[in-house]
């Protein structure tokens, strides 16, 4: 029997606050990108939502390489309401939330995707990497994320509104993890704070 993302999260995670925060941030970024930069489908939104919830379940096996363990657990237990191929796409989005970038020659599941599927993985995992970086401390410090696309200069500005206006959270990890987003959307990313 296939499990839902929520059931997998409950089975393999001690805490659901960080995955749910990363899901919330991922959805804000996805919706902002969808409105301003590139149109993506509702199905892709569902892929990202599930991958965000499950990105850290691999910690139940080992912290070292937990992203790869998350991918294996998603593949092993399946995901209710998704085909085998869609499950593999979600597993890759989850895997690439940290660590090495997708490699079509050497990464087992990813190398079987066609060009369109690889693009979906790069874009959605790029969003997930940033969302995960924004909640690096696991303390829900971001109230809102807004996207502005400067088409003339091909720059995607990510505006961050902190929960408390007088405190700016450390976004160093989000900045470090913007690489895959930039590759997937072929744009440059700049982070800015909003009051």
Write the pLDDT tens digit of every residue in 42-55.
999 999 999 999 99
Of residues 126, 101, 102, the one with CA closest to residue 38: 126
Query: What is the rounded distance in angstroms from the CA atom of residue 40 to the CA atom of residue 59?
Result: 30
pLDDT, position 15: 83
CATH architecture of 5-193: Orthogonal Bundle (1.10)
Write the pLDDT tens digit of every residue in 44-84.
999 999 999 999 999 999 999 999 999 999 999 989 999 99
pLDDT of 96 higher than 90: yes
| Domain range list for the chain | 5-193
Write the pLDDT tens digit of every residue in 135-174.
998 888 999 999 999 999 999 999 999 998 888 899 999 9
Give the tokens for residue 133.
Answer: 């970086």
Q: How many CB atoms lie within 10 A of CB 20?
A: 16
Band (pLDDT 50/70/90 cuts) for residue 183 is very high
120-134 in b/e burial notation, b at 16+ Cβ within 10 A? bbbbbbbbbbbbbbb
Q: Are 94 and 66 in contact (CB under 8 A)?
A: no
Full-model pTM: 0.96
Write the pLDDT tens digit of every residue in 12-40.
998 889 999 999 999 999 999 999 988 89
Coil, helix or strand for 57? helix
Give the tokens for residue 30.
Answer: 């996805």
């Amino acid at each position: 029997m296939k499990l839902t993302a929520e059931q997998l999260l409950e089975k393999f995670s001690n805490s659901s606050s960080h995955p749910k925060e990363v899901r919330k941030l991922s959805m804000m970024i996805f919706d902002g990108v969808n409105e301003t930069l590139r149109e993506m489908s509702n199905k892709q939104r569902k892929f990202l939502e599930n991958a965000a919830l499950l990105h850290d379940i691999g910690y139940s096996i080992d912290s070292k390489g937990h992203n790869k363990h998350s991918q294996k657990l998603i593949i092993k237990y399946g995901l209710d309401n998704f085909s085998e191929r869609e499950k593999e796409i979600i597993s890759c989005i989850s895997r690439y939330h940290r660590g090495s970038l997708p490699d079509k020659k050497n990464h087992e599941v990813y190398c079987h995707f066609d060009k369109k599927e690889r693009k979906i993985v790069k874009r959605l995992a790029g969003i997930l990497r940033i969302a995960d970086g924004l909640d690096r401390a696991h303390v829900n410090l971001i109230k809102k994320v807004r996207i502005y696309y400067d088409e003339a200069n091909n720059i995607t500005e990510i505006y961050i509104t902190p929960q408390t206006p007088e405190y700016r959270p450390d976004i160093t990890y989000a900045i470090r993890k913007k690489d895959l987003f930039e590759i997937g959307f072929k744009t440059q990313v700049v982070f800015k704070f909003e009051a």
